[in-house]
Amino acid sequence: MKPILVDAHCHIHSKEFDEDRDEVIRRAEKTGVKAILTSSINFSEIRKASKVAGRYEIVYLTIGWDPANLDRENHKRNLEILENMRERIVGIGEVGLDYYRVRDEEGRKLQRNIFIEYIGMAEKLKLPLIIHSRSAGRYVLEILEEYDVKRVHLHAFDGSKRWVRKAVELGYYLSIPTSVVYSRQKMNMVGIVPLEQLLLETDSPVLSPYKGMRNEPAFIVEASRKVAEIKNMSEEEVRKITGINASKFFRLYL
């Protein structure tokens, strides 16, 4: 298989790209990106994200919900949308827990309960989960293990080395964002996670490898270069294996 680049998590449908999305996609293609997964995280984004995914052949859609902005009624509607759009999406997410922005126990309890319902929906629809776990890595892993979830992508995981090792033990995929060029925690994660369980992501428009600049999928090359450097292997091998990983995990058939 020819080495390919896959941006396993971003928000290419966001307003930050409204003025130059065509050019952004072209730059990504020019750098060798073959797939971009864009994640819708609220109702106002779903239609737009779906339209963007329909316009560009290399853009794939996932639908989730920002765990820091949850309520029961919207969650119920989102589950209905997921079922109705099953054939147009490749994953559920991002969903999970955010204990950085939500500090009160009532809010965290709501997050946990809704997260568990998304786990059930992923099983029902036979779709993988893309997990948001800001300042909540341990708690996310405990829930995923309790419910015996298998197809898990931990996006920009910020847990300690202990919980990174636990995620590896559970067989989950972890995506390395472009911020790995300056984040010591992400560099440490690269050293722990086997290449066979790594994905690459930009999380565009945030987490840029260039301070003060908007991030974009073309910058995924910075993540692949840093991973290659840390693991002391060729960038071609990193692209090959992470591309295979993403293709298999999301069933993209690239």
User: What pLDDT digit, counting tens, does each position of 225-236 carry?
Assistant: 999 999 999 999
249: exposed, middle or buried (C-beta count within 10 Å: 0-12, 13-18, 19+)? buried
Encoding tokens for residue 64?
């989730």
Distance in angstroms (rounded) separating the CA atoms of residues 133 and 221:
24
- pLDDT tens digits along 87-105: 999 999 999 999 999 999 9
Length, in residues, of the chain: 254
Distance in angstroms (rounded) separating the CA atoms of residues 164 and 224: 19
pLDDT tens, residue by residue, 108-129: 999 999 999 999 999 999 999 9
* CA-closest candidate to residue 36, choices 238, 219, 182: 219
pLDDT digits (tens), the chain, 254 positions: 668 999 999 999 999 999 999 999 999 999 999 999 999 998 889 999 999 999 999 999 999 999 998 878 888 889 999 999 999 999 999 999 999 999 999 999 999 999 999 999 999 999 999 999 999 999 999 999 999 999 999 999 999 999 999 999 999 999 999 999 999 999 999 999 999 999 999 999 999 999 999 999 999 999 999 999 999 999 999 999 999 999 999 999 88
Q: Give the domains, in start order, of the chain with CATH numbers.
A: 5-250 (3.20.20.140)
CA distance 76 to 175: 29
Write out the DSSP string of 58-70: TEEEEE---TTS-
H or E segment at 95?
strand 91-98
Give the whole-angstrom CA distance, residue 133 versus residue 170: 16
Bridge-partner residues for 38, per DSSP? 10, 61
The predicted structure's pLDDT at residue 3: 82
Task: Give the pLDDT score at 1.
Answer: 61
Residue whose tokens read 């840390």: 230
User: pTM for this structure?
Assistant: 0.96
